[in-house]
Structure 1
Amino acid sequence: MTSVNVFVTNNTYIDFDVFGHWLNGLTVHEAVQARLQSGILQSTGASPDMLQSDTLDNYRTFSLLERFLQSPPKLATQVLLQIPAAVQRTLIEKYYDFDSAVIREILGKKLTNRHRKDVDDVSERTNIRLRSCRRQYDNCKNIFKTVEDMEGSLVNNISGHFLLPEKLAKRYAAIVFFSNNRFETGKKKLQYLSFDDFAYCADLMIHNWTFGAADSQADDMDVEMDRVFLQELRDLKVLTGEKDVYEKHKGLVCSALRGKIPDPTYADIESNFKNLSRCIVSVASGLIHSKELKDFFVDLVEKFIEPCRNARWSKRDVEAFLKAYEAAIQQIPQLKRYQPHLLTVWTRYMTTLKKCILQLYHS
């Protein structure tokens, strides 16, 4: 006779309110107090001892699940707990969700174990519990280490390996992109910018300036900047370096804006066109160097956004100028005849730069 051992269990019930307390770094005692304040005893008829026991049981379950959540595909194959697929998806999404304030503090920094100690300061500055900050940092580090050397779409790689919805995967793609390229985000001049501001720009840069950009002929990678494109940007110095090209460009821009923006703004553009143009071109030509690439956002704010704000340009004025500035290049005969490739490079550069500046242009 053959002997067979059979183990039968019901689906594991996940209390997502308690899960939220666990994710936020509350202790069991603090979670019990939070549940008491919510009026759960009155609504369920449970006793304080039952609530304590239930909360502790939930915390044990979450601790057991955490090692699977750190590698989400394993959650579906583990046999310790029976969890419906829809509940698994919710668990993963909530576990990898993050506080923008926390990520804003670590954005652009190297995600290593050595820098993990800085999370203590992040917790103090954001008033978010240390345990929660550590989870968020470790999730970023885990995703970065997993996908940094992969070819293909960064968003698809993150979504595929961590089973995240596209919207959340795109936010992590921005974190990976910033960490890989070490963009400076901590300077005082940049403190007014939010994580969402940087994430918006990262998405544009990934889709237009990396090896994985649609118009790039290089290997399909979304983490590394397209070095060929960055090298070609140096040729844009012709816009400020050759007098007839510069004068023609200025004339076309001013003609397009005359009567369409406030007179003080128009006068400022006319008198400061060289400085404005030099900023846009110097940022482009400097991106081939790692230091200038790292300071991309610092340069935009210091050299373009702050002067325009000081001159009291409205966001609409900035948009009008950038549109006219970009379009005028297509009408310069010298470039159309002798350097037509620059027009393609110019469009690829300005499509992203224009939207980045407008995103960053706020108080």
Structure 2
Amino acid sequence: MSVELDVFVGNTTIMDEEVYQLWLDGYTVNDAVKVRMEGGVMDECEASKDVLLSDTMDQYRTFQMCERLLHSPAKLANQLLFQIPPHRQIMLIERYYAFDDTFVREVLGKKLSKGTKKDLDDISAKTSVTLKSCRRQFDNFKRVFKVVEELKGPLVENIRQHFLLSDKLARDYAAIVFFANNRFETGKRKLQYLSFQDFAFCAGQLISNWTVGAVDNMVEDMDVDLDKEFLQELKELKILITDKDLLDQHKSLVCTALRGKTKVFIEMEGSFKNLSRGLINIAAKLTNTKDVRFSLKKKKKKKKNIYIYIYIYIHK
């Protein structure tokens, strides 16, 4: 009985970035071969379809064997099984932990549990992201959350050090962890116009200015939990509504900080009194986690940029 066996022998592990992306996107081997053929790879290499299929299968096997190392990226540099240059290791890690904004927008703020994972079929159909890719991204979110939730120190730095991610991607993951921990309401119909990057921007500001770590950098979970004392102190802002001199001073300070930095400055300056009153009334009620979760969803879509900018500066 004859047996056909494809054998590849070499030193440096060969990895095609295009095939790697197809694997990450959840394509089957046959679908990946079809995509590669449509891209003209056979014309470039003068290879047959069988050779292309064999090459794709071999690389898929390599990626699958590397996946367990990618779950703990620091191990990738110390293992001896695969000879992977440092720059290629960075690429593998960065792409493995990259995610689709449309997918993360659907799970942002939800508990990273088995219950949410059961909904991935529906999310996959809604976002047109393959189920395999959805599962990889969800598991990455859960893995990062589990590792950093017990660590002391800055959230972004912990993610960057433990998962060897770029600064941008580490900050995006910090936003995901922050929203998952505080269970912010992000799925309401009135908030659907906001993208993940809108929420990530707000998360970065909250982490820098509103968390316990923003006040005391020696505390545990410093970038995850909101500073309750700070939220209590926001009640004192109500005086800005009743005292005209303080209101004028507040307007002057905010306008000076925002002048030239936003296209909606003129509209914001003209409606400052009403905008300030609305935000201060919200701020005065942020005394517990539930209030914080629901604080932004009452805002009207047409004024979203104005509210975001003042929301950032109001703590000053």
* Structure 1 partner of 2:6: none
The Cα of 1:115 is off from its aligned counterpart by 1.4
Pairs within 5 Å for 1:146-225 = 146-213=147-214, 215-216=215-216, 219=219, 221-225=222-226
One-letter amino acid of the structure 2 residue matched with residue 76 of structure 1? A
**CA–CA distance in structure 1, aligned partners of residues 197 and 248 of structure 2:** 36
**CA–CA distance in structure 1, aligned partners of residues 176 and 234 of structure 2:** 25
**CA–CA distance in structure 2, aligned partners of residues 51 and 224 of structure 1:** 51
**CA–CA distance in structure 2, aligned partners of residues 287 and 33 of structure 1:** 55
Distance 1:69 1:265, change over 3 A: closer
TM-score (norm 2): 0.85
1:231 aligns with 2:236: no
1:21-43 Cα offsets, whole Å, 9 max, x none, are: 00000000000000110111111
TM-score (norm 1): 0.74
* Structure 1 partner of 2:3: none
**CA–CA distance in structure 2, aligned partners of residues 255 and 153 of structure 1:** 33
Please list every run of 5 or more consecutive structure 1 residues that lacks an aligned counterpart in the other structure: 1-7, 310-314, 323-348, 355-363
Distance 1:10 1:253, change over 3 A: closer
The partner residue of 2:313 within 351, 358, 361 is: 351
* Structure 1 partner of 2:294: 295
* Structure 2 partner of 1:326: none
The Cα of 1:114 is off from its aligned counterpart by 2.6
CA RMSD of aligned residues (A): 2.9
* Structure 2 partner of 1:278: 277
Question: Are the aligned partners of 1:216 and 1:226 in contact in 2 as well (CA < 8 Å)?
Answer: no
Q: Please give the secondary structure, in 1, of the residue aligned with 2:212.
A: coil
One-letter amino acid of the structure 1 residue matched with residue 87 of structure 2? A
* Structure 2 partner of 1:79: 80
* Structure 2 partner of 1:138: 139
Q: Please give the secondary structure, in 2, of the residue aligned with 1:83.
A: coil
Q: Please give the secondary structure, in 2, of the residue aligned with 1:67.
A: helix
Distance 1:224 1:49, change over 3 A: same
Q: Percent identity?
A: 47
**CA–CA distance in structure 2, aligned partners of residues 74 and 294 of structure 1:** 38
* Structure 2 partner of 1:105: 106
**CA–CA distance in structure 2, aligned partners of residues 192 and 237 of structure 1:** 30
The Cα of 1:216 is off from its aligned counterpart by 4.1
1:131-176 Cα offsets, whole Å, 9 max, x none, are: 0111111100100111012111111100111111111101100100
Question: Are the aligned partners of 2:151 and 2:158 in contact in 1 as well (CA < 8 Å)?
Answer: yes
**CA–CA distance in structure 2, aligned partners of residues 209 and 250 of structure 1:** 23
**CA–CA distance in structure 1, aligned partners of residues 252 and 107 of structure 2:** 45
Question: Are the aligned partners of 2:228 and 2:288 in contact in 1 as well (CA < 8 Å)?
Answer: no
Q: Please give the secondary structure, in 2, of the residue aligned with 1:286.
A: coil
**CA–CA distance in structure 1, aligned partners of residues 178 and 122 of structure 2:** 23
**CA–CA distance in structure 2, aligned partners of residues 253 and 154 of structure 1:** 32
The Cα of 1:265 is off from its aligned counterpart by 6.3
Distance 1:239 1:253, change over 3 A: closer
One-letter amino acid of the structure 2 residue matched with residue 72 of structure 1? P
One-letter amino acid of the structure 2 residue matched with residue 53 of structure 1? S
The Cα of 1:276 is off from its aligned counterpart by 3.6
Pairs within 5 Å for 1:21-100 = 21-100=22-101
* Structure 2 partner of 1:248: 245
Distance 1:218 1:209, change over 3 A: farther
Question: Are the aligned partners of 2:153 and 2:217 in contact in 1 as well (CA < 8 Å)?
Answer: no
One-letter amino acid of the structure 2 residue matched with residue 285 of structure 1? A
Please list every run of 5 or more consecutive structure 2 residues that lacks an aligned counterpart in the other structure: 1-8
The Cα of 1:65 is off from its aligned counterpart by 0.7
**CA–CA distance in structure 1, aligned partners of residues 251 and 184 of structure 2:** 34
One-letter amino acid of the structure 2 residue matched with residue 172 of structure 1? Y
* Structure 2 partner of 1:333: none
Pairs within 5 Å for 1:304-319 = 306=302, 308=303, 318=306
Distance 1:255 1:12, change over 3 A: closer
1:244-265 Cα offsets, whole Å, 9 max, x none, are: x2x33456678999xx9x9x96
The Cα of 1:51 is off from its aligned counterpart by 0.4
Distance 1:277 1:205, change over 3 A: same
After TM superposition, the structure 1 stretch with the greater mean CA deviation from structure 2, 176-185 or 220-229, is 220-229
One-letter amino acid of the structure 2 residue matched with residue 351 of structure 1? Y
One-letter amino acid of the structure 2 residue matched with residue 128 of structure 1? V
Distance 1:283 1:49, change over 3 A: same
**CA–CA distance in structure 2, aligned partners of residues 189 and 227 of structure 1:** 27
1:172-209 Cα offsets, whole Å, 9 max, x none, are: 00100111111111111111100011111111111111
Q: Which has the higher helix share?
A: 1
